[in-house]
Amino acid sequence: MSDSLRAEIALGCRILALEDQGDFVWGHVSARDPDGRGVWMKAATLGFEEITPERVILVSWDGDVLEGDGRRHAEYPIHTELMRARDDIVGVVHTHAPWAVAFASTGEPLRPVSHEGTLFVPPGPARFTKTGDLVLTAELGRDLAAEVGDRNAAFMVHHGIVTCGPDVVSAVMSAVLLERACRTQIRALAAGGPKTWSSDEEALVKREHCYRPVLLRQAWDYLARRLDER
C-alpha cells in the first residue's frame, strides 16, 4: 500500500514541476498514512522534478521521520494539522505557486472567469493572513486548518497555496487548476479587469461537468504521459 502511495506522491511532485510550481527545493505533496502513523511526504532538499518513490518519507504526527531516507520539510505541520482537522482529507499540496501568490496580493476575490475557477468558487479559496512566514508550528498549522475549514484550497497570502482532497490526485490537480485560474484572472485584470464571470449556479454545474474525480484523473494521466515524453 505504501509503495503505491509513494509512487503517487512522487508523480504528483513531478506533475507540479511540469506545471511550473516548483520553487527550488520548496513545496510539498503528502498523503495520509493508511495505518494512521502520520503522513507520507516528499523529502526536503530536493526539487519537485527530482522526486522518486524512494524520496518520499513517512513523517509522524509530531514530525519524526519513521520510514525512508531523507530530511523532512520544516513546514510539515501544514499537512499533519490539516489531516488532523479533517478526516476526509487524504492528499495535501503546498506550493509557492507564482501566479497564485501574485493574485492573492491583489486582494481580489477569485472569479470563475474560465473553467478552472469553478473548482473553487463558490465559495472561493480561503485566505490565510495570520502570517506570510513559514508554518513551522502545530499551532500555526491548526490556524491554517481552521481558515481552510471545509474548503479545498487556501491562499497563504505572501507565501503560497495549500490544496487538499480525498486523494493525492485531487489535491495535486486542485493546485494545478488553482494556479491556472489565478493566471487567467491576472490576464483579465491586466486587460482592464473581468466584467463577467459564471454565476454561482453555472459554476456549480460546470464543476460537476468539468472536474468530477474521474475527469481530474484523466487530466492527471495526461500530464503523466507528458512527463514520460521528456
Please state the closest distance from residue 135 (CB atom) to Zn ion, in A: 7
Candidates 114-122, 136-144, 159-167, 204-212 — which segment interacts with Zn ion by CB under 5 A? 159-167
Please state the closest distance from residue 27 (CB atom) to Zn ion, in A: 7
- Of 228, 18, 48, nearest to 56 by C-alpha is 48
Residue nearest to Zn ion (CB): 160
Cβ proximity to Zn ion: between 22 and 160 the closer is 160
Cβ proximity to Zn ion: between 43 and 216 the closer is 43
Please state the closest distance from residue 28 (CB atom) to Zn ion, in A: 8
Cβ proximity to Zn ion: between 91 and 112 the closer is 91
Q: Site mask, Zn ion, residues 52-91, x = CB under 5 A?
A: ----------------------------------------
- CB-neighbour burial class of residue 189 (10 A; exposed 0-12, middle 13-18, buried 19+): middle
Cβ proximity to Zn ion: between 70 and 166 the closer is 70
How far is it, in rounded angstroms, from Cα 56 to Cα 75?
15
172, 93 Cβ separation under 8 angstroms: yes
Please state the closest distance from residue 186 (CB atom) to Zn ion, in A: 21
Grid coordinates given for 86: 479533517
Please state the closest distance from residue 18 (CB atom) to Zn ion, in A: 20
Please state the closest distance from residue 143 (CB atom) to Zn ion, in A: 15
Please state the closest distance from residue 206 (CB atom) to Zn ion, in A: 30
Candidates 114-122, 145-153, 154-162, 178-186 — which segment interacts with Zn ion by CB under 5 A? 154-162
Candidates 12-20, 156-164, 171-179, 213-221 — which segment interacts with Zn ion by CB under 5 A? 156-164
Candidates 31-39, 117-125, 160-168, 197-205 — which segment interacts with Zn ion by CB under 5 A? 160-168
Residues contacting Zn ion: total by CB under 5 A: 1
**Residues in touch with Zn ion (CB under 5 A):** 160
